Amino acid sequence: MFRQVKRRTAGRRNFEESNNKKLDYDLPKLYSCRLSFYDLPPTREITLEEFEKWAIDRLKILIEIESCNARSKSLKEIESSIRGLLLKYLPLSENQNIEERMKDHYSHYILRLVFCRTEELRKKFIKNETILFKVRYNSLQPREQQEFIELNKYKLSSWEYVTPQEKSELFDKLFASSYLMLKSHFLSGGENLTYDEVKQHVLIKENFIKLPFEKITNLVGTRSIYLHNGYGYLPTSLQLNLLSIEFQENLSLQLMKTFQTIPRLEEDDRLLPLLNNLSKSFSSFKYDTEMDPALISDINATSITSNSISKHFPLCAKHLQNNLIANSHLKYGGRQQLGLFLKGIGLNVDEAIKYWSHQFTKGGSMTVDTFNKEYKYNIRHQYGLEGARINYKPWDCSTILSKPRPNKNEYHGCPYRDFSIDKLVSSLNSMGINDQQELNSIVDDVGRHDYTIACTRVFELTHKSQIKNSQDSHINHPNLYFDRSRLLERGQNKEA
Amino acid sequence: MPVEQFEDESINKGSKKPSESDMLYYYKRLLPFRQIFQWLSHSPKPTKDFTFREFAYEHRSGAYQRYNSYTSLEDFKQTVINANPTRFEIGAVYKINPKDRKNLPKSVMKPVSKELVFDIDLTDYDDIRTCCQGTDICCKCWKFIQVGSKIIEFSLRQDFGFQHLIWVFSGRRGAHCWISDIRARNLDENSRRSIVEYLDILGKNGNKKSIKKPYHPHIERSFEILKNEFNNIVLTDQDPWFTDSTMSSDSKNWKCVDDLLSFIPNKELSKELKSKWQKDIHSTSKDKWEDINTIASKVLKSKSEVNYLNDAKKDIIIYFMYPRLDIEVSRQIIHLLKSPFCIHPGTGNVCVPFNPFKNISDNKEDDEYGFNPLNSPNIRDIQNELENYNKGNNELHDWEKTSLKPYIEYFSHFVNELTKEELKKRSRDNENENNLEF
Ligand SMILES: [Zn+2]
């Protein structure tokens, strides 16, 4: 295995120094609530495998949040987008499951090491962790929320609950002060409440806390709360903002401290590459292709050119196939990109050879013999049947974007990056996107170089009628686009 | 960073400017050093709040000398007399003695605390003032400061819970508010900024966007104060929207009228009003204010249109009368501000404290104004008062023999209340410390 001792010291020292004082606590207390400000660093040993696995699992969730965020999803939408992922990779159940809480705790601290190293990474990490914190706070039972606040009293000592009597005495003022902020709070959650509905809500549902105005200067400056005698009155719905500011500030401070201790971590030659890899994979996360034979029975050399299959292709694959059909040829980059994509959707090696040979010879400019001599090997190679016998995986978006851009008569790459705006818009038109505002939002994404976000948006727009609740997620792989599209179609057929 | 500059002599009669010997006389015999010292030390004895405090001088030459500090009341008085500046300003309390800053790295020269301060100045009201312009003031336009200081004071006391605040006449056309509560002194710049932003409802340069509804309780309370004064101050005294048939369409009055019309939410109504007023041979602000209702009852059809107009009328009252604040003065901890009881170098007026709610001058004539800047003590007057005092009562301080008396008494009361609370707090802290030790 590996040297447990060294790993332990390396990690431990960093965690501890990042908190700057000697800590004395035991596990039940540390994990007594499923939500955490992560104030206390972990001290127990874990294996290198756990170290990596836990970090990657948490990373998957942060990546999804990042992607939702880039598409300006509301907190509610993000919640539903990551619900499944959370259950799978980072569950935190209500019962005292120490294992789960430990994984959450450790993975957070490991990613601190990963993300503390540049300003940009720190910002991303803080932003996404804060959203995760909010999502989790919202999923707590009200009882747990109170327990959590109780547990963190030492941070939030200045919180004081307003009695029902005081609330009813001050009601008009409390309402007039908080109306606009509550209104936009609900709006960001997708609920458009009327003036009277907000009033009812404040009357019935909102409790208020009061705290020294110095703690909430941003709300004071915008006149978003009621102020009396040096105290600001904050409705329950907005208390999460306050908690998350606390969380954010805390994390930002801790990340800087971690950053300052990182050089000492480099003594451990096995951790650094691991951390480097993790931070790299944040921007290019690998999509695993898992194939179910039952789902690929209709994939063969002829069906893939039919509309019933190719309508599920993302624009890059469509573009490649269209040009292959039109020119009876594709250059190397295009063959690689399309070939592996087709492999990913379930086209087996025999069907692949049939497909490519037909396409290359149908125009009459190439004989089957030439094809077999010059191109067959290449296809078998893709399937790991020749050469190094590597089972090549379909390219994900970041691989596609990292390859040289297509030259004239080349069609690989990412259309969102490589097309002129006019060409892109007319391609989008032919996919059924005609609304000017929708087109603009895609062009905006492209302008920001957020190509996968543009592609995800296109997916959402072209599947509007099938997507019921926004359980979808960021598309960073052409095969994910295809699979998800087919899945939606199957779901619809089942219903019908 | 002097807040007010010297004005050129063409505006101010040269005779009003105090001479070097006037100033020396005033510092030696009249300026209440003890009260100022105790106010800043929060104790009758020198504390770090006083000894680590920055003072700055403005000299007759125009030179500005920062980072002075004093060890005691005597040192304070003697050093000011020796320097004989045209005025001195009060800055922040620092972590170290500001005098020692030269021998220490810059980073230790950190401001620790300072009174929270506000500055309202009549020059910011020039778009609505018709009685005076620029540095001139009269009793009419002082009413803007009067009502403004009430609004600020209500909020500081009721919303922020401050208790120890005092308003000081800036000597010419404005007023400063000093808040001395320990909580206010310890505010960081972020909190100071949030307080000014909270109070500064018009935003930078008097934002003309409509104020959000429902009004925040602070705005509602301010409106209640302003609406009672609107008729008197704006419609009657200032009459900014007065027009008659002789005025050209690009006169200041017509610009003010357009300003007024820009608040009217209904295009048709504002068109109708303008064409009526253009035809009127003689139309005062009061006439126009009434016209708005009369024409509206003909033009506006729905209840909601009427509601919008009523909201807009409230906005107008607030827009033209709400105090306009200098944000930087309040936000920066290191900002220096002229000390109370200094002499304004241009006017010779004493920067006396005043009560926005009640006249304290003992002069019945002033009661109408609360504080009347035109009758406020001037260095020449009080010199004469002192020279002509011949009751031979040696038990009195010199200032008690002049019209400064009620102002210094008012200030002393303020300082005593503040000191009492500080002492209480200090003994509480000591007790707690002792409890910890034993
Ligand atoms: Zn005037």
With tokens 């805390």, the residue in question is: A250
Does any CB of chain A come closer than 8 Å to the CB of residue B159? yes
Average confidence score pLDDT of chain A: 82
H-state helical runs in A266-289? 271-283
* Residue A143 burial by Cβ neighbours in a 10 Å radius (0-12, 13-18, 19+): exposed
B227 or A96, which is more confident: B227
Distance CA B184, CA A214 (A): 10
pLDDT of residue B314: 95
Which stretch of A305-309, B99-103, B307-311, B346-350 has the lowest confidence by average pLDDT? Answer: B99-103
* Distance to chain B for A226, nearest Cα, Å: 7
Using a CB-CB distance cutoff of 8 angstroms, which residues of chain A are in contact with residue B183? 230
CB contact under 8 A, B161 and A177: no
> Is residue B214 reached through a cis peptide bond, with omega within 30 degrees of 0 on the bond before it?
yes
Nearest CA in chain A to B216: A177
Segments of A71-222 assigned E as strands: 160-161, 208-212
CB A140 within 8 A of CB A34: yes
What helix, strand, coil percent values describe chain A, rounded to 5? 65, 5, 35
The rounded percent of chain B whose pLDDT value lies above 90 is 77
In this structure, what DSSP letter does residue B249 have? T
What length does chain A have?
496
Nearest CA in chain A to B200: A221
Does any CB of chain A come closer than 8 Å to the CB of residue B161? yes
pLDDT of residue A4: 36
Residue B3's SS3 state is coil
pLDDT category of residue A72 using cuts at 50, 70 and 90: low
Residue A281 has pLDDT above 70, yes or no: no
Q: Which of A227, A229, A233 to mutate to test the interface with B (most CBs of B within 10 A)?
A: A227
CB contact under 8 A, A217 and B191: yes
* Of the partner residues A177, A180, A231, the one whose CB lies closest to the CB of residue B217: A177
> Taking Cα atoms as reference points, which of B326, B329, B328 lies closest to residue B89?
B329
Helices (H) and strands (E) in chain B, counts: 15, 11
* Of the partner residues B194, B198, B215, the one whose CB lies closest to the CB of residue A176: B215
- CA distance from start to end of chain A: 54
Residue A71 has pLDDT above 80, yes or no: no
Which stretch of A42-56, A288-302, B160-174, B212-226 has the lowest confidence by average pLDDT? Answer: A288-302
CA distances for B161 relative to A36, A174, B154, B414, angstroms: 34, 17, 10, 16
Q: Which of B4, B58, B119, B326 is catalytic?
A: B119
pLDDT digits (tens, 9 = 90+) for A160-218: 888 899 999 999 999 999 998 888 888 876 788 899 999 999 998 888 989 899 988 88
Residue A347 CB neighbour total at 10 angstroms: 22
* Residue B67 burial by Cβ neighbours in a 10 Å radius (0-12, 13-18, 19+): middle
Residue B270 CB neighbour total at 10 angstroms: 19
Residues with Cβ within 8 Å of A476's Cβ and at least 6 positions away in sequence, in order, are A67, A284, A285, A287, A396, A397, A398, A452
Which stretch of A82-96, A274-288, B372-386 has the lowest confidence by average pLDDT? Answer: A274-288
Annotated binding site of A: 316, 397, 414, 455
Phi-psi region of B98 (alpha: psi -120 to 50; beta: other; left: phi over 0): alpha
Distance CA B67, CA A140 (A): 55
CB A81 within 8 A of CB A64: yes
CB contact under 8 A, A223 and B183: no
* Of the partner residues A173, A175, A230, the one whose CB lies closest to the CB of residue B161: A230
**How many beta-carbon pairs under 8 angstroms link A with B?**
55
Average confidence score pLDDT of chain B: 90
Radius of gyration of chain A (CA): 27
Using a CB-CB distance cutoff of 8 angstroms, which residues of chain A are in contact with residue B191? 213-214, 217, 220
Q: Which two tokens stand for residue A280?
A: 């790299």
Does any CB of chain B come closer than 8 Å to the CB of residue A214? yes
Does any CB of chain A come closer than 8 Å to the CB of residue B193? yes
Residue A94 has pLDDT above 60, yes or no: yes
Distance CA B4, CA A331 (A): 77
pLDDT of residue A251: 93
Q: What are the sequence ranges of the domains in chain B?
A: 20-200+325-429, 208-321
A146 or A342, which is more confident: A342
Residue B59 has pLDDT above 90, yes or no: yes
pLDDT of residue B207: 58
* Of the partner residues B159, B183, B190, the one whose CB lies closest to the CB of residue A217: B190
Does CATH number 1.20.930.80 belong to domain A27-154+247-279? yes
pLDDT of residue B233: 95
Q: Which of A202, A213, A233 to mutate to test the interface with B (most CBs of B within 10 A)?
A: A213
pLDDT of residue B15: 57
> Taking Cα atoms as reference points, which of B301, A348, B383, A430 lies closest to residue B309?
B301
Distance CA A357, CA A369 (A): 10
Residue A450 has pLDDT above 50, yes or no: yes
Based on the residue annotation, tell me whether B89 is a catalytic residue of this protein: no
* Of the partner residues B158, B195, B215, the one whose CB lies closest to the CB of residue A220: B195
**A27-154+247-279 matches A160-238 in fold:** yes
pLDDT digits (tens, 9 = 90+) for B81-133: 999 999 999 999 999 999 888 888 877 788 999 999 999 999 888 888 999 98
CB contact under 8 A, B198 and A229: no
Q: What are the sequence ranges of the domains in chain A?
A: 27-154+247-279, 160-238, 293-495
Average pLDDT over residues B194-205: 86
Does any CB of chain B come closer than 8 Å to the CB of residue A177? yes
In this structure, what DSSP letter does residue B244 have? E
* Distance to chain B for A340, nearest Cα, Å: 56
The two most distant CA atoms of chain B are separated, in Å, by 86
CB contact under 8 A, A221 and B217: no
CB contact under 8 A, A213 and B160: yes
Does any CB of chain B come closer than 8 Å to the CB of residue A272? no
pLDDT of residue B415: 98
CA atoms within 13 A on the CB side of B394: 0
Q: Which of B121, B124, B315, B326 is catalytic?
A: B121
Alpha carbon of residue B158 to chain centroid: 19
* Of the partner residues A179, A217, A230, the one whose CB lies closest to the CB of residue B194: A217
The rounded percent of chain A whose pLDDT value lies above 90 is 32
Residue A277 has pLDDT above 90, yes or no: no
pLDDT category of residue B366 using cuts at 50, 70 and 90: confident
Q: Which of B49, B54, B58, B315 is catalytic?
A: B54
* Distance to chain B for A213, nearest Cα, Å: 8
Residue B437 has pLDDT above 60, yes or no: no
Taking the centre of ligand 1 as the mean of its atom positions, its distance from the CA of residue A26, in whole angstroms, is: 72
With tokens 């078998």, the residue in question is: A380
CB contact under 8 A, B159 and A227: yes
Nearest CA in chain B to A213: B160
* Residue B72 burial by Cβ neighbours in a 10 Å radius (0-12, 13-18, 19+): middle
User: In terms of DSSP bridges, do strands B165-169 and B353-354 run parallel, antiparallel, or are they unpaired?
Assistant: antiparallel
Q: Which of B194, B200, B221, B304 to mutate to test the interface with A (most CBs of A within 10 A)?
A: B194
Residue type, A176: A
Does any CB of chain A come closer than 8 Å to the CB of residue B151? no
CB A452 within 8 A of CB A397: yes
Read off φ and ψ for residue B164, nearest 5 degrees: -105, 80
* Distance to chain A for B267, nearest Cα, Å: 26
* Of the partner residues A175, A180, A230, the one whose CB lies closest to the CB of residue B212: A180
Residues with Cβ within 8 Å of B209's Cβ and at least 6 positions away in sequence, in order, are B203
Does CATH number 3.30.565.10 belong to domain B20-200+325-429? no
Taking the centre of ligand 1 as the mean of its atom positions, its distance from the CA of residue B173, in whole angstroms, is: 9
pLDDT category of residue A293 using cuts at 50, 70 and 90: low
Buried b (16+ CB within 10 A) or exposed e, B234-257: bbebbbbbbbeeeeeeeeebbebb
CB B168 within 8 A of CB B178: yes
Residue B435 has pLDDT above 60, yes or no: no
Residues with Cβ within 8 Å of A413's Cβ and at least 6 positions away in sequence, in order, are A316, A333, A337, A400, A401, A403, A405, A406
Residue A17 has pLDDT above 60, yes or no: no
Distance CA A281, CA B432 (A): 55
pLDDT of residue A7: 39
* Distance to chain B for A178, nearest Cα, Å: 9
Based on the residue annotation, tell me whether B280 is a catalytic residue of this protein: no
Angle between helices B252-261 and B267-279 (to 10 degrees): 150
Residue type, B413: H
Residue B67's SS3 state is strand
DSSP string of A289-339, one letter each residue: P---GGGSTT--TTGGGSHHHHTTS-HHHHHHHHHHHHHS---HHHHHHHH
pLDDT category of residue A70 using cuts at 50, 70 and 90: low
CB contact under 8 A, B194 and A230: no
> Taking Cα atoms as reference points, which of B192, B195, B234, B193 lies closest to residue B218?
B195
Residue B78 has pLDDT above 80, yes or no: yes
H-state helical runs in A161-206? 164-169, 171-188, 195-204
Using a CB-CB distance cutoff of 8 angstroms, which residues of chain A are in contact with residue B160? 213, 227, 229-230
pLDDT digits (tens, 9 = 90+) for B275-306: 999 999 999 999 999 999 999 999 998 999 99
B86 or A387, which is more confident: B86
Helix (H) or strand (E) segment spanning residue B90: strand B87-94
Does any CB of chain B come closer than 8 Å to the CB of residue A223? yes
Taking the centre of ligand 1 as the mean of its atom positions, its distance from the CA of residue B258, in whole angstroms, is: 22
Average pLDDT over residues A19-46: 70
CB B54 within 8 A of CB B94: yes
Which stretch of A93-107, A222-236, B226-240 has the lowest confidence by average pLDDT? Answer: A93-107
Question: Model's pTM, two decimal places?
Answer: 0.67
Based on the residue annotation, tell me whether B7 is a catalytic residue of this protein: no
Residue A61 has pLDDT above 70, yes or no: yes
Q: Which two tokens stand for residue A49?
A: 């495998």
The rounded percent of chain B whose pLDDT value lies above 70 is 93
pLDDT of residue B206: 54
Using a CB-CB distance cutoff of 8 angstroms, which residues of chain A are in contact with residue B188? 214
pLDDT of residue B200: 93
Which stretch of A266-275, A276-285, B154-163 has the lowest confidence by average pLDDT? Answer: A276-285
Which stretch of A66-80, A229-243, A292-306, B96-110 has the lowest confidence by average pLDDT? Answer: A66-80
Q: Which CATH number fits domain A160-238: 1.20.930.80, 2.60.120.620, 2.90.10.10, 3.30.70.1400?
A: 1.20.930.80
pLDDT of residue A288: 42
Using a CB-CB distance cutoff of 8 angstroms, which residues of chain B are in contact with residue A226? 217
Residue A142 has pLDDT above 80, yes or no: no
Taking the centre of ligand 1 as the mean of its atom positions, its distance from the CA of residue B409, in whole angstroms, is: 29
CB contact under 8 A, A220 and B215: no
Distance CA B247, CA B243 (A): 7
Nearest CA in chain B to A230: B160
Angle at A152 between CA A149 and CA A154, to 5 degrees: 125
Using a CB-CB distance cutoff of 8 angstroms, which residues of chain A are in contact with residue B158? 228-229
* Residue B437 burial by Cβ neighbours in a 10 Å radius (0-12, 13-18, 19+): exposed
Residue B68 has pLDDT above 90, yes or no: yes
